[in-house]
């Protein structure tokens, strides 16, 4: 997990990527195993747990942040700050994800323009397409953030 936490600021319980599987110059593949004891399953839904779609999207966005962080390490992008979501579009949910499943998360860079990186992402589970999404990320230092 340190290969993930060394790159992005997300931490449990709001970390939805376990490891990087592979990467190319224009994309990255990661995976996450959804454990039955995850807190969100207690309320979504009791007796019939299903992974919330918004958390599956978050796994894609975190994978995008990992890709951008690796780009920064290679000298091809910003190397300070945090990833901030600028736009989400064309989200399509195709199949549910249940406790115990391992998802494969893939992101691909479409283009970069003016400090923004446009990407596409997808999630699969056991070769079933779970979701697709287009999104835009800005790597920036938030202003006005409270000091810890």
Cβ neighbors of 44 (< 8 A, separation 6 or more) are 50, 51, 52
Q: Does 147 reside within a domain? A: no
Tell me how many domains the chain contains.
1
**Whether pLDDT at 12 is above 90:** yes
Angle at the Cα of 140 from the Cα atoms of 135 and 144, rounded to 5 degrees: 115
| Three-point CA angle 105, 33, 71, nearest 5° | 35
Does residue 11 fall inside a structural domain?
A: yes
In a domain, residue 116? The reply is yes
Residue 145 lies in a domain: no
pLDDT at 17: 98
Q: Does 135 fall in a domain? A: yes
Q: Is residue 125 part of a domain?
A: yes
148 falls within a domain: no
Strand order in the sheet with 82-93: 19-24, 27-33, 102-113, 116-125, 128-140, 82-93
Q: Helices H, strands E: what count in the chain? A: 2, 6
Burial label, 30 (beta-carbon count in 10 A; 0-12, 13-18, 19+): buried
Cβ count within 10 A of residue 66:
25
Residue 146 within a domain: no
- pLDDT for 40-85, tens place per residue? 999 999 999 999 999 999 999 999 999 999 988 888 766 567 889 9
Domain of 89 in residue numbering reads as: 2-140
Model pTM score: 0.92
Residue-level pLDDT at 139: 79
Question: Cα separation of 31 and 5, whole Å?
Answer: 14
Query: What CATH code is carried by the domain that includes residue 81?
Result: 3.10.129.10
Task: Determine the pLDDT at residue 83.
Answer: 84
The yes-or-no answer on residue 44 being catalytic is yes
Catalytic residue among 27, 44, 86, 140: 44
């Amino acid at each position: 997990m340190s290969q993930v936490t060394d790159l992005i600021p997300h931490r449990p319980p709001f970390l939805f990527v376990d490891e990087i599987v592979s990467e190319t110059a224009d994309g990255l593949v990661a995976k996450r195993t959804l454990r039955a004891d995850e807190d969100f399953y207690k309320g979504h839904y009791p007796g019939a747990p299903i992974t919330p779609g918004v958390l599956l999207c978050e796994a894609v966005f975190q994978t995008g942040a990992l890709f951008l962080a690796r780009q920064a390490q290679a000298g091809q992008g910003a190397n300070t700050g945090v990833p901030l979501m600028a736009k989400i579009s064309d989200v399509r949910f195709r199949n549910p994800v249940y406790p115990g499943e391992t998802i494969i998360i893939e992101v691909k860079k479409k283009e970069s323009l003016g400090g923004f990186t446009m990407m596409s992402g997808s999630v699969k589970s056991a070769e079933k397409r779970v979701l697709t999404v287009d999104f835009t990320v800005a790597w920036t230092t938030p202003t006005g953030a409270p000091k810890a």
